Structure 1
Amino acid sequence: MNTIFSALGEPNRLHIVELLRDGPLSVGDIAEKLHMSQPLASKHLRILSEAGLVDVQPIANRRLYKLRPQSLQAIDHWLGAFRRLWESRFDRLDAYLEDMQAKESPEGGKF
């Protein structure tokens, strides 16, 4: 997981992942859209590939890069634990606030 976050921690690589969200692109397309040289785009794509975030598909003399859903699912799974923790805390906060409102209400009920 550290490799994935390290790869995504660089802004250009994060932008590449965001571009690939809409579908596969060639190195040249990525370089053009992000206003960077093709060698620099290739370097970033290599790092994303090594981190397991993108796959490359050779077609004739071009290479198309696309996102690997498995790596994004791994991130979502990892974040899920934090999501559940915060949802639990918000549920407790809601219950506390409802209890406080009930105690402050003249009728002893909700507003």
Structure 2
Amino acid sequence: MNLVFEALSHPVRRKIVKVLKQGPKSAGDLAELFDLTKPTMSAHFAKLKKAELVRTTRQGNTILYHLNASVLETALSDLLDFKQGGSND
């Protein structure tokens, strides 16, 4: 859960997640939304992948990013449990 919230702590990564809610996007399509260098975008993608918030598939030379909503749902559920006094570590 910590990796998920760490990944979501940055506004660029939150925007990527929001865009991916609409469906898979290529790395290039996502990068066009930001005025950032390719290495910076790659670092954001890597952080989201490490937290398992996104998964990738390859179509030819194109890498598509997909939102892994189940991880997000689990993290939000854990957060709500925590807020209600639960003890999910």
The answer, yes or no, to whether TM exceeds 0.5 is yes
Indicate conservation of the 8 Å contact 1:27/1:38, yes or no: no
The letter for the 1-side match of 2:73 is Q
Residue 49 of structure 1 is matched in structure 2 by 49
Deviation per residue, 1:43-74 (Å, 9 max, x gap): 10111001110000011000000100220121
The offset of 1:76, in angstroms, is 2.7
Q: How does 1:1-111 map to 2 (within 5 A)?
A: 1-81=1-81, 85=84
**Percent identity between the two aligned chains:** 37
Q: Which has the larger radius of gyration?
A: 1
Q: d(CA) in 1 for partners of 2:8 and 2:78?
A: 15
Higher relative contact order (CA 8 A, sep 6+): 2
Query: 36-45 vs 1-10, which deviates more?
Result: 36-45
Q: d(CA) in 1 for partners of 2:80 and 2:3?
A: 19
User: Aligned residue pairs: how many?
Assistant: 84
Which structure carries more helix by proportion? Answer: 1
| Structure 2: runs of 5+ lacking an equivalent | 85-89
Q: d(CA) in 2 for partners of 1:24 and 1:66?
A: 5
Q: d(CA) in 1 for partners of 2:5 and 2:16?
A: 14
CA RMSD of aligned residues (A): 1.5
